[in-house]
């Protein structure tokens, strides 16, 4: 191959440098299935190892879906690693063939398993990056499939050369160039029989649709798509740069894993910039970008009544509030205390709670809602601290009738993201204090009160 080999490796090296995929002394774990792309990726990095002083190792996932064929793939990769003096990490995922009935969910789960494995290896062994073998053909197929799904700029700009810890050095070369390099270097690799299956949308595009377009409409369809995705990527980068000023201005971090955007601010933005602002906030919670459709659903919360929500994932949501949109992670609240002793201090993750007896002269009904006074003779023990539950009720000050805590929260304009984390002091007779908001009328201090208990709720500062 001679000169062609030099040109091939030079093109990849230039791409690595221009995209700043990694620098000198980088430690890289290479995802190797045994297929041609991952083998050429490894060969390329081996050729650059001395120049860049790279630390290299291999990661392989055996999904076990093709029986002996999957095991032979693993054996091949193990031999390849040994022959090249590379340490190898292998994960046996044990995925079930029943997943193949829904190829979309199967591919998503397989990808999630693979990327989680790579991420774990980075943390456990100190690698800087994980390299995958996506090439220019993969990019064209991805853009085409995303176009069919009605994707926005995030999908149409294609596969990013670098996102987080994932790098893709082969995106600058085509499958034809990769195959030519493999032949010239007489390199062995594994053929995955599933690449011929029309169960997968990507295979239909690769093996049926693109050849038809090449024959009837556009011979260089992949080049055309990649050129367009490059243009979209440049435009996207420019718009993102313009949007960053607005992101810094109107996105407020209101807690750990929680952000707030006021509706008035959002309405002042051009619709495209507003899309980018919302997309930026949502993407802070996920390893992969959310879809254009999800971004639009969250954006529409700016016109929705308070209480409307968009579920982003089982643990993430966006809520419409009167003044804006709150996007947050729903952390499971910790267990509090089944038994609260008087005149003791209790420190939890989000707050500190303490109580002490005071004389009538020390009672001060000021505006600090985090300090309250109750008549200790009116309470039954044991006292406990817990979080709000559906059906909880309280008798507000000055009232003999009960009111649902959920209505109290609405009146106090407590965001949904916060009400689940407000501690409640309770006794066998019911709610005594919604910490920081309201005490029950039954336990209020009067002129006849002799034993007065001061309650103090101290929220901890959020990041």
Total-model pTM: 0.73
Instruction: Give the span between the Cα atoms of 278 and 285, in whole angstroms.
Output: 12
Phi, psi of 65 (to 5 degrees): -85, -20
Tell me what percent of the residues of the chain surpass a pLDDT of 90.
68
pLDDT at 101: 46
pLDDT(412) > 50? yes
Given this chain, do its domains 3-133+168-197 and 225-329 carry the same CATH topology? no
CATH number for the domain formed by residue range(s) 337-459: 3.50.40.10
Chain centroid, CA 269 distance in Å: 25
Q: How is 249-282 classified by DSSP, letter by letter? A: HHEEEEETTEEEEEHHHHHTS-HHHHHHHHHHHH
Q: Which of 130, 112, 113 is nearest to 32 (CA)?
A: 130
pLDDT(307) > 90? no
- Domain borders along the chain are 3-133+168-197, 225-329, 337-459
Any idea which fold 225-329 has? Chorismate Mutase Domain, subunit A (1.20.59)
Q: What is the mean pLDDT of the chain?
A: 90
In the structure encoding, which two tokens stand for residue 10, read together?
A: 């030079």
> Does residue 382 have a cis peptide bond before it, meaning omega lies within 30 degrees of 0?
yes
Contact status, residue 292 vs residue 305, Cβ threshold 8 Å: no
Instruction: Give the span between the Cα atoms of 281 and 244, in whole angstroms.
Output: 11
pLDDT(323) > 70? yes
Region 16-23: what's the mean pLDDT? Answer: 97
Rounded alpha-carbon distances, angstroms, from residue 184 to 6, 9, 11, 46: 12, 13, 17, 17
Which class would CATH give 3-133+168-197? Answer: alpha beta
Q: Which of 38, 84, 36, 37 is nearest to 59 (CA)?
A: 38
């Amino acid at each position: 191959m001679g000169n062609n080999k030099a040109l091939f490796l030079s093109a990849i090296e230039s791409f690595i440098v221009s995209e700043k995929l990694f620098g000198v002394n980088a430690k890289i774990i290479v995802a190797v299935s045994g297929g041609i792309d991952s083998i050429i990726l490894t060969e390329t990095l081996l050729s650059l190892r001395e120049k860049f002083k790279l630390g290299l190792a291999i990661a392989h996932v055996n999904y076990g879906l093709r029986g002996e064929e999957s095991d032979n793939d693993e054996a091949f990769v193990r031999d390849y690693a040994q022959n090249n003096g590379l340490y190898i990490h292998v994960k046996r995922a044990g995925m079930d063939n029943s997943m193949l009935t829904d190829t979309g969910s199967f591919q998503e789960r397989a990808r999630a398993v693979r990327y989680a494995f790579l991420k774990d290896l980075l943390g456990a062994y100190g690698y800087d990056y994980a390299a995958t073998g996506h090439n220019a053909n993969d990019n064209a197929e991805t853009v085409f499939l995303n176009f069919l799904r009605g994707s926005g700029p995030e999908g149409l700009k294609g596969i990013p050369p670098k996102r987080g810890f994932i790098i893709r050095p082969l995106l600058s070369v085509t499958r034809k160039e990769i195959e030519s390099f493999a032949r010239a270097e007489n390199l062995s690799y594994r053929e995955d029989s599933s690449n011929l299956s029309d169960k997968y949308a990507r295979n239909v595009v690769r093996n049926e649709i693109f050849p038809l377009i090449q024959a009837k409409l556009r011979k260089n369809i992949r080049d055309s798509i990649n050129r367009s995705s490059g243009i979209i990527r440049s435009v996207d980068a420019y718009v993102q740069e313009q949007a960053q000023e607005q992101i810094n201005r109107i996105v407020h971090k209101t807690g750990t894993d929680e952000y707030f955007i006021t509706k008035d601010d959002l309405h002042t933005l051009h619709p495209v910039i507003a899309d980018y602002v919302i997309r930026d906030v949502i993407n802070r919670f996920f390893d992969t970008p959310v879809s254009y459709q999800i971004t639009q659903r969250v954006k529409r919360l700016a016109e929705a009544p308070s209480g409307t929500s968009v579920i982003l994932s089982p643990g993430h949501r966006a809520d419409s509030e009167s003044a804006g949109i709150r996007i947050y992670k729903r952390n499971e609240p910790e267990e509090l205390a089944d038994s609260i002793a008087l005149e003791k201090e209790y420190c939890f993750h989000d707050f500190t709670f303490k109580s002490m007896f005071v004389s009538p002269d020390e009672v001060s009904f000021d505006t600090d809602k985090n300090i309250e006074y109750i008549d200790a003779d009116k309470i039954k023990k044991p006292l406990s601290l817990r979080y709000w539950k559906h059906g909880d009720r309280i008798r507000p000050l000055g009232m003999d009738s009960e009111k649902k805590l959920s209505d109290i929260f609405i009146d106090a304009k407590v965001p949904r993201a916060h009400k689940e984390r407000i501690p409640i002091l309770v006794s066998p007779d019911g709610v005594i204090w919604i910490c920081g908001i309201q005490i029950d009328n039954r336990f209020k201090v009067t002129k006849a009160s002799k034993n007065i208990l001061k309650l103090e709720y101290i929220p901890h500062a959020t990041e």
